[in-house]
Amino acid sequence: MNVEHRPAVPTNVLIVGVGGQGVIMVSKVLASLCQQAGLEVKQSEVHGMAKRGGSVFSHVRFGETVLSPMIAHGEADIMVALEWAEGLRWLDYLKRDGGTFIADTQQIVPPVSFRNRRRGARSGYAPATPAEVIDLVGNGFALDATRMAAGLGNERVANTVLLGALSTALPFPREGWLGVLDGLVPPKTTEVNRRAFDAGREWVQNFDRPAEQAAAAVAVPVSGDGLDHRLEITEAWCKGCDICVKMCPERCLTLNARHIVELTDPAACTACRLCEWLCPDFAIRVLTASAPAPALAK
Ligand code: SF4
Ligand code: SF4
């Protein structure tokens, strides 16, 4: 594969998110593509302690010659954030003059951000809105990639939606991206990943800046958000380890006679999500229906 433009100075791409979102997949696709194009690539990543919601990041640097695998503060040409607050946390790595910011408006709110257990209390989650951040960086795209992916039938391909958005900022042809992507995703997800890639790519290409930014509001979550949350318990996955029961701050969970967890006091549950985060078997999900609806794909 040939790229039209082979810059002497390396291009720096920083990809950030939390455990389980697919940061490393995005990074691998980009690094493989650069290698296929005959460029020198250095990739570094940190994901050791990040299995359940911890920070994950990957630096990808490519060009004619690349000496260091690490991107310095203020030197990222492009940042891709798979989670909104992670994007804000790494913002000082982005070039202030010409850096491109691409972020999912998806919020993964850590339970520790709910320091006030009163129902309806504001969390300590990052309050900055997409419009504020994009004003600051100059060249940015905030899209609800997770919802776009869910609309395609699999919210786990949100990372591929963002990969498609990233593809518009780099000089590789669409077919090159898709060829690498096909080789890295499970065969049965090839089709949905291809559609997710094109959805992200087209979203950026058709981006209407004022309208999309106005729509892309990110509200600060509140505890017990709107009271219309619910717990989804996958009984087949619960092994009755009791962790969530012991750790629930509101004491509203118990194990039933079959040693499966049950929500015994829904009114007391504040949707803090601690049970979801601590369950080693992914048996609990806290679903909130009142989350804001940020920008959708056109
Ligand atoms: S059941 Fe889960 S979400 Fe509800 S208060 Fe307990 S730990 Fe938090
Ligand atoms: S932590 Fe998970 S596996 Fe353990 S009891 Fe709770 S739901 Fe079941």
CB-based burial of residue 1 (10 Å sphere; 0-12 exposed, 13-18 middle, 19+ buried)? middle
Residue 20 confidence (pLDDT): 78
Ligand 2 centre from 262 Cα, in Å? 10
Domains of the chain, residue spans: 11-215, 228-288
pLDDT in tens, 245-290: 999 988 999 999 999 999 999 888 888 888 988 898 889 988 865 4
CATH topology of domain 11-215: Pyruvate-ferredoxin Oxidoreductase; domain 3 (3.40.920)
Classified as helix, coil or strand, 143 is strand
Ligand 1 centre from 119 Cα, in Å? 12
Q: By alpha-carbon position, which residue is closest to atom 4 of ligand 2?
A: 241
Q: Which atom of ligand 2 is nearest to the CA of 259?
A: 5
* pTM, to two decimals: 0.74
Q: By alpha-carbon position, which residue is closest to atom 3 of ligand 2?
A: 238
pLDDT at 297 over 70: no
**Distance separating alpha carbons of residues 141 and 14, to the nearest angstrom:** 15
Quick check: CB of 253 below 6 Å from ligand 2?
Answer: no
| Highest averaged pLDDT of the listed ranges 89-103, 120-134, 211-225 | 89-103
Q: Do 11-215 and 228-288 fold alike per CATH?
A: no
Quick check: CB of 281 below 6 Å from ligand 2?
Answer: yes
What CATH number does domain 228-288 carry, 3.30.70.20, 3.40.47.10, 3.40.50.300, 3.10.129.10?
3.30.70.20
Q: What's the mean pLDDT in 120-145?
A: 83
In this structure, what are the phi and psi dihedrals at residue 67, rounded to the nearest 5 degrees? -95, -45
| Residue 148 CB-half CA count within 13 A | 32
pLDDT in tens, 48-101: 555 566 778 999 999 999 998 999 999 999 999 999 989 999 999 999 888 999
Ligand 2 centre from 200 Cα, in Å? 36
Query: 78-81 and 11-18: which strand pairing?
Result: parallel
Q: Which ligand is nearest to the CA of 114?
A: 1
Quick check: CB of 85 below 6 Å from ligand 2?
Answer: no
pLDDT at 115 over 80: no
∠ Cα 35 194 163 (to 5°): 55
